[in-house]
Amino acid sequence: MQVMTCIEDLRQAARRKVPRAFFDYAEGGSYADQTLRANRADLERIKLRQRILADVANRSTKTTILGEPVSLPLALAPIGLCGMQHGDGEILACRAAHAAGIPFTLSTMSICSIEDVAAAVDKPFWFQLYVMKDRGFVRSLIERAAAAQCSALVLTLDLQVLGQRRRDIKNGMTVPPELRIKNIVDIATKPAWALSVLRGKRKTFGNIAGHIPGMENVNSLSTWISGQFDPAMSWKDLEWIAGLWPRKLILKGIVDVEDARIAAKTGAAAIVVSNHGGRQLDGAPSSIAMLPPIVEAVGSEIEIMFDGGIRSGQDVARALALGARSCMIGRAYVYGLGAGGQAGVTRAIEIIRNELDVTMALTGVSSIAEIDRHVVVG
């Protein structure tokens, strides 16, 4: 890998290496991208408070997430089709996260399956669940995650219907890639990507293919998936899931104070204040705009994680200052994966860690617990 000074460098490298349809899939938001842009713009508006002479010689980014020690307040968010950014992408990202001492979350929509990842890593990871109409299949996914010793179940609640992703429609984004002339020409210019994906364990949805009778064929699989998101899901289903899952439960996709209040009473271990990286309700507020009122309403009852727009350690500091206990990153590590596989994800985490550490020094704090409202201006 070339010299990578920031997440944007990784993004530029990923853009060169990953076929357009998959790069755009990661990059984009829904509809007109208003919420996607708001996630970044609102974070950038928060100004950090520069302090001096605070004796910051002994700093540490260590903390805990759900009671488990971590080297910095960060986890890798669930990303569908990670294995299409780089062959075996889920395994490589999980190894990088574990080596860095932070959690990795495997998406329901991953290319490598729960069992593939479990066999390739030596520590438990988190599993993200989408609730499908086929509740028997949902139950089997929960049982498979439990059998694979996943330490937390991240239940995503903001995708009962799918927001329109205009880039994906225009690019004909499918798994595996649809063989349009345009796609073939594009892939031919990305030989390293093609080789890594060809050599990878799987080329389709690993958690689903082969687990549903009659769904071995890729076309019928895609049709099945798109018809499976369940608009009828309600808080009652959450009780059912909590009853099936033996370990920690995290509720992801909450950006409303009323929803946060209900979520805090469910017995879940944490919520993730998240608008799915601006990929669902376009026109929804940025996640950072909704963090303070949610912290105010339920911060004393439940652990609050945050995602949406984090591209630097400064952004992590901003979210912690506004009350998050930890953050998740999505695109920031996906760019690393596309740019350089496991080494790229390792670099993405290192970049954020170093930026957070220097930000702590320059805002005059030595520990994660000290990052609060005092480190931002106003």
- What does the binding site for ligand FMN look like in residue numbers (CB under 6 A)? 25-26, 39, 77-80, 107, 109, 128, 156, 252, 274, 276-277, 279, 307-310, 329-332, 334
Closest Cα to residue 118, out of 98, 140, 138, 139? Answer: 98
- Looking at the Cβ atoms of 204 and 365, the one nearer to ligand FMN is 204
Active-site residue, 374 included: no
- Looking at the Cβ atoms of 305 and 362, the one nearer to ligand FMN is 305
In angstroms, the CA 101 to CA 322 distance is 24
- Evaluated on CA atoms 92, 97, 101, 102, the torsion sign reads negative
- Looking at the Cβ atoms of 205 and 375, the one nearer to ligand FMN is 205
Q: Nearest residue by C-beta to ligand FMN? A: 330
In angstroms, the CA 247 to CA 252 distance is 16
Q: State the Cα torsion 278-279-285-287 to the nearest 10°.
A: -50
**Which two tokens mark 333?**
């590590």
**Which two tokens mark 371?**
């990052």
- Evaluated on CA atoms 363, 334, 38, 281, the torsion sign reads negative
CB of 309 to ligand FMN, least distance (A): 5
Closest Cα to residue 94, out of 72, 117, 71, 128? Answer: 117
**Which two tokens mark 51?**
């302090």
CB of 27 to ligand FMN, least distance (A): 8
- Looking at the Cβ atoms of 24 and 186, the one nearer to ligand FMN is 24
CB of 80 to ligand FMN, least distance (A): 3
Candidates 86, 98, 211, 276; catalytic one: 276
CB of 277 to ligand FMN, least distance (A): 3
Write out the catalytic residue numbers.
276
